[in-house]
């Protein structure tokens, strides 16, 4: 019975057989597709990067406690008035066909625009505003998180995220770390991390840094502040480091711990993420 039932499993129904496919070993990317695009994680392969200081970084978000991976990378419906919605409108996709972030996981252009776009996320750099917004400095302009991050990237300015306790709790959603990477975020500085998301951040080449004794609510961090993270080539797992938050009035020094927990994780970070680490080893062998 089993053999009879599955004898033509690889052929599929007639609808499946009608689908036109290309031959060859490599997938032929369709540039007009809004569902599947070639991701940028393997472009510009280089040798292991040097671990250097991160200087004059802009705070992109200041978040509270228990920020979940769904806050970071939502899986639900895509709003018309959002960076992802604008992406579809530019390509003449009807709103009824937007579908959800969960169904668009094969398109990094959609997913990076959806990172920190949850309508319930609250960026404390802004007052009384919910949703994925931030402030562009020194312009003092309120824009979507995606737009602010892309503008800082054009200016070659580093960006970081601050958060409270249990950052990244919830499901181990890979795009929560991937989207963070593609926004250009260099580090997430939090009071504590959920263990899987911390590991995923390292795996995408983003520094997780844990505050030792400071509470975010006591630091009065503003969008106009500049952040220096003191690193060096002698970086070791779980080492102590200092973060300097500079404002016009003063400079705060935060005692922190680098949450790269193992030697292997340090190698992943130096390779700019575990994807590149694995690929480099395959090519080497």
Ordered by start, the domain boundaries in the chain are: 50-72+122-284, 74-114
Q: Name the strand (E) or helix (H) holding 207.
A: strand 207-211
Q: Could you tell me the pLDDT band of residue 260, with boundaries at 50, 70 and 90?
A: very high
Among 20-24, 124-128, 240-244, which stretch is predicted with the lowest mean pLDDT? 20-24
CA distances from 91 to 45, 104, 169, 214, 254 (A): 30, 15, 34, 46, 46
| Backbone phi, psi, residue 153, to 5° | -65, -40
Number of residues in the chain: 285
Q: How far is 277 from 274, CA to CA, in rounded Å?
A: 5
Interval 127-149: pLDDT, tens: 889 999 999 999 999 999 999 99
Architecture of domain 50-72+122-284: Alpha-Beta Barrel (3.20)
Express as a percent the part of the chain with pLDDT over 90: 78
Res 45: pLDDT: 67
Q: Name the strand (E) or helix (H) holding 269.
A: helix 263-270
Q: Are 199 and 244 in contact (CB under 8 A)?
A: no
Res 111: pLDDT: 98
Q: How far is 180 from 202, CA to CA, in rounded Å?
A: 11
Q: What is the pTM of this model?
A: 0.91
Classified as helix, coil or strand, 104 is helix
pLDDT at 201 over 80: yes
């Amino acid at each position: 019975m089993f053999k009879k039932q599955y004898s033509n499993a690889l052929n599929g129904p007639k609808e499946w057989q009608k689908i036109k496919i290309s031959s060859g070993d490599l997938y032929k990317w369709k540039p007009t597709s809004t569902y599947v695009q070639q991701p940028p994680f393997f472009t510009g392969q280089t040798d292991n990067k040097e671990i250097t200081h991160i200087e004059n970084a802009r705070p992109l978000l200041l978040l509270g406690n228990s920020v979940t991976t769904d806050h970071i990378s939502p899986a639900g419906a895509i709003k018309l008035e959002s960076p992802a919605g604008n992406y579809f409108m530019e390509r003449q996709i009807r709103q009824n066909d937007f579908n959800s972030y969960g169904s668009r996981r094969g398109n990094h252009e959609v997913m990076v625009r959806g990172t920190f776009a949850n309508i319930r996320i609250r960026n404390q750099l802004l007052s009384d505003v919910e949703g994925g917004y931030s402030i562009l400095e020194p312009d003092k302009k309120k824009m979507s998180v995606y737009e602010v991050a892309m503008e800082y990237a054009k200016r070659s300015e580093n960006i970081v995220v601050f958060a409270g306790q249990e950052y990244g709790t919830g499901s181990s959603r890979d795009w929560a770390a991937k989207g963070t990477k593609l926004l250009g975020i260099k580090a997430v500085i939090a009071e504590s991390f959920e263990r899987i998301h911390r590991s995923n951040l390292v795996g995408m080449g983003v520094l997780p840094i844990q505050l030792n004794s400071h509470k975010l609510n006591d630091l009065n961090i503003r969008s106009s502040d500049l952040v220096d993270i003191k690193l060096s080539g002698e970086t070791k797992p779980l080492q102590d480091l200092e973060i300097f938050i500079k404002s016009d009035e003063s400079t705060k020094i935060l005692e922190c711990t680098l949450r790269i927990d193992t030697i292997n994780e340090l190698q992943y970070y130096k390779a700019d993420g575990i994807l590149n680490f694995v690929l480099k080893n395959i090519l080497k062998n």
